[in-house]
Structure 1
Amino acid sequence: MRPRQTVLITGASRGLGLEWARQYAEDGWGVCATCRRPEEARELTALAAQHRDVSVHRLDVTDAEQLRTLQLDLEEACIDVLLNNAGVYLDKFLGDFGGIDYEVWLRSFAVNTLGAVRVSEAFAAQVARSEKKLVVVTTSHMGSITDISAPGSYAYRSSKAALNAAMKGIAPALEPRGIGLLLLHPGWVKTRMGGRDAPYTPEQSVRGMRRLVEKFDPSMNARFFRFDGSEMPW
């Protein structure tokens, strides 16, 4: 029996990406799960062993050759939901003003901003031929310029703000192909990035974000929502 729909997820080896993969697999979707080092992604490969419609692929979103290889592997695919989840927070404990690490800043942009744009551009044709036709971006409230009230996290904040701006601009290019775009803030979640003090579990966050994906309609296109459905300021 064929899966009812297919999702491509970047950064699926742990945290939110792994939870997206788990929930979609359990709901009968085809899941193309990508990560940088599949040989180390034990939970993800175990999930693939349990669900025949889950496949694991190598992808560093900053690596053009790896992206091209995956693009060729999935050349004939229909991708209902393209989920740009891969991201880094490299300056969480670094880079006070006066001692900023600019290499960290450049790496943050390469992954958080350019990575999502690269993947969206590479798989637009596969999304356009699907039924759902939706590009989803996991961004952050820290990319909201309105919400900035304290110093620090310059690389992460600016890379997510740039991601929001880039995707807001890409939306009109996708619209003539029938493709929608949804930007989501997952909340503060108990992951390696979020830490143990976070109030929400990956399961809670992804359940909420999936509800927004499921109910997506043209009125939601290129808008920025928190996982609970409230709209975020730019």
Structure 2
Amino acid sequence: MNVVITGTNRGIGLELVRQCLSRGDTVHAGVRAPAQATDLTALAEGAGGRLRVHALDVADAAGVRAFAESLPEVIHLLINNAGVRTRPDDLADLDVDDLTRTFQVNAVAALRMTLALLPRLRAAGGAKVANISSNLGSITDNSWGGAYGYRMSKAALNMATRSLGHDLKDAGILAFALSPGWVRTDMGGSEAPTAVETSVAGLLAVLTRLGPDETGGFFDFEGHRLDW
């Protein structure tokens, strides 16, 4: 299976690459600065040609188009994982320019990637798009406020996923928003309760199980449907 994953230099993205390779996939990994992604490069050296590392800034429209043109004609799975969060991000410290950048990377870029790869996803005759979201994107679950840029961008990503679920279903392409939970990564911090290996294994298992009846839905890494 040909898999495209963005934001693969560390954390969840890197582990997604590792576990997709372990199950036999060919992975096209997008990363802003390949020369600095030493762990990803090490994986590529031992992957027997099944991992191809690409320079990719998901917020750069021209770069995304060039990336898409370099891919095989058939892509079975697109995982839009690239994301950012700047802290502090409460109301008192809000930087509107930074919020806009966060929105571009976390929400708009996933839609840009999907559109750029759409012909290749169509060619698979049963492709899936996984947008890595967050519980913080749930409006229902917002019980403490703050996290403005991250919350807003992930809520927007969820809405895009919902629309993609409707618009792409007839083309045989399914779309899902997936929350990895609170994960021990550089972004999640050392106090997070979930190991990255556990989260990613869950995400891939859930993604494998989800079908047409669930397209456009929002799920966590254990398969539970989440509230919008």
AA at the equivalent of 2:131: V
Q: How does 1:5-154 map to 2 (within 5 A)?
A: 5-51=1-47, 52-74=49-71, 76-90=72-86, 92-94=87-89, 96-154=90-148
Q: CA deviation at 1:131?
A: 5.0
Which of 189, 202, 221 is matched with 2:215 structurally?
221
After TM superposition, which residue ranges in structure 1, 4 or more long, deviate above 2 angstroms? Answer: 96-99
Q: Secondary structure at the match of 1:145?
A: coil
Residue pairs, 1:147-166, within 5 angstroms? 147-166=141-160
CA shift digits 1:109-165 (9 cap, x unpaired): 110010101001110111111154100110000000001111211111011001111
Partner of 2:205: 211
Query: Take 2:36 and 2:97, find their aligned partners in 1: how far apart are those partners?
Result: 26
Cα deviation, 1:174-228, whole Å, max 9, x if unaligned, reads 1121100111000100001000001111110010011111112111111111101
Is the CA contact (8 Å cut-off) linking 1:80 and 1:132 kept in structure 2? yes
Show the counterpart of 1:199.
Answer: 193
Q: Distance in 2 between matches of 1:216 and 1:155?
A: 29
Equivalent of residue 170 in structure 1, options 159, 164, 168: 164
Structure 2: how far apart are the matches of 1:189 and 1:165? 23
Segments of 5+ residues of structure 2 without an aligned counterpart are none
Matched, 1:231 2:225: yes
Question: What is the DSSP-based 3-state SS (H/G/I as helix, E as strand, rest coil) of the residue aligned with 2:165?
Answer: helix
Number of aligned residue pairs: 227
Structure 2 length as normaliser, TM-score?
A: 0.96
CA distance in 2, matches of 1:28, 1:98: 48
Among 164, 184, 187, the alignment partner of 2:181 is 187
**Partner Cα distance (1:187, 1:58) in 2:** 27
**Which TM-score applies when normalising by structure 1?**
0.94
Mapped contact 1:81–1:132 kept (Cα < 8 A): no
* 1:140 maps to amino acid: S
Q: Identity of aligned pairs, percent? A: 40
Distance (Å, rounded) in 1 between the aligned partners of 2:92 and 2:179: 30
Is this contact kept in 1: 2:202–2:221, CA < 8 A? yes
Q: Deviations over 1:75-102 (max 9, x none)?
A: x421111000000111x323x3244210
Mean alpha-carbon deviation: is it higher for 198-207 or for 130-139?
A: 130-139
CA RMSD for the aligned pairs? 1.1
